[in-house]
Homo-oligomer: A and B are copies of this chain.
Amino acid sequence: MRVLVNIAYMGRDYLGFQIQQNGRTIQQQFEKILKRMHKRHVRIHPTSRTDRGVHALNQYFHFDTELNITPEKWQYAMNSALPDDIYVHDIQFVSDNFHCRYDCVGKTYRYKIYQGAHKDPFQSGLKTYIPYQLDIEAMQEAAQAFVGTHDFTGFCSQKTEVESKVRTLYESRMVVTEDGFDYVVTGSGFLYNMVRVLVAFLLQVGQGKKRPEDVPRLLEAKDRNQMPFTAPAAGLYLEKVYLSPESLIQDFGEDIRIHRKKSLEND
């Protein structure tokens, strides 16, 4: 039986999703519970390996089990054993050929920034504080320029180890909020650190240090050295995961190109 789990977590106190030799990770929290229930190691497979300090409003993983437990009881068992900063929203049974990673056709990330005269200690780890004024219209224009299919070599970590660095962004926009703004981006997939590099670039545009017109040239250059910053993890949220072409078409229309994962990627 393949079980699909929809979870949310505050990433503040975790070293990321993926299991590590030492330290708390989201995967470790779940595999600990599953090991106790199965009396053996059970591996979980997420749609996205979020980094240290990165949050998820919606993340998925799947695992296989021989246990005969209803979805409601799975949810109850997990939520009872999990710490307060992880929550299981939903459990479904799926077919054995469904795979969280390979069936994922898109993801939405949100990056939260707050402004104001004072830093707010209660936003620590949850939003990024930018004290200086920003030109939000220029940022919006630059954000839009990334929509479409591009080689994002210049906008990811140089440690990224994937064959192709071409990704398609379905939306890329600034949203004004109560105390600042969010950057919302939906794409076929994301390279390692890609959203945080995009945010760092947009913040430079907001300060007038880069211009929206620089985007085509920087994409063309494929040179990370021209884009040396990475925004902090704290403001980053995995907001939505698209597990079927239909769900992506519903949000972005018939005309989009759907990209199926064929191999392991850094996102």
Task: Tell me if B126 and A83 are in contact (CB < 8 A).
Answer: no
Chain B CB within 8 A of A86 CB: yes
Bound CA–CA A86/B119 (angstroms)? 9
Chain B CB within 8 A of A120 CB: yes
Contact with B along A105-118 (1 / 0, CB 8 A): 00000000000001
Bound CA–CA A55/B122 (angstroms)? 9
Bound CA–CA A8/B125 (angstroms)? 16
Among A5-42, those with CB < 8 Å from B are 8-10, 13
Chain B CB within 8 A of A163 CB: no
Bound CA–CA A191/B157 (angstroms)? 53
Among A67-105, those with CB < 8 Å from B are 79, 83-87, 89
Partner of A87, one of B8, B86, B87, B118: B118
Chain B CB within 8 A of A124 CB: yes
The smallest beta-carbon distance between A254 and chain B, in angstroms, is 34
Task: Tell me if A86 and B55 are in contact (CB < 8 A).
Answer: no
Among A175-223, those with CB < 8 Å from B are none
Bound CA–CA A126/B13 (angstroms)? 14
Known contacts A83-B124, A85-B124, A87-B118; 12 further A-B pairs (Cβ under 8 A): A8-B120, A9-B121, A10-B121, A10-B122, A13-B13, A79-B119, A84-B121, A84-B129, A85-B121, A86-B121, A87-B119, A87-B120
5 tightest Cβ-Cβ pairs between the two chains A and B: A85-B124, A84-B124, A87-B121, A85-B121, A10-B121
Q: List 22 A-B contacts (CB under 8 A).
A: A8-B120, A8-B121, A8-B122, A9-B121, A10-B121, A10-B124, A55-B122, A79-B119, A84-B119, A84-B121, A84-B125, A84-B129, A85-B121, A85-B122, A85-B124, A86-B121, A87-B118, A87-B119, A87-B120, A87-B121, A89-B118, A122-B126
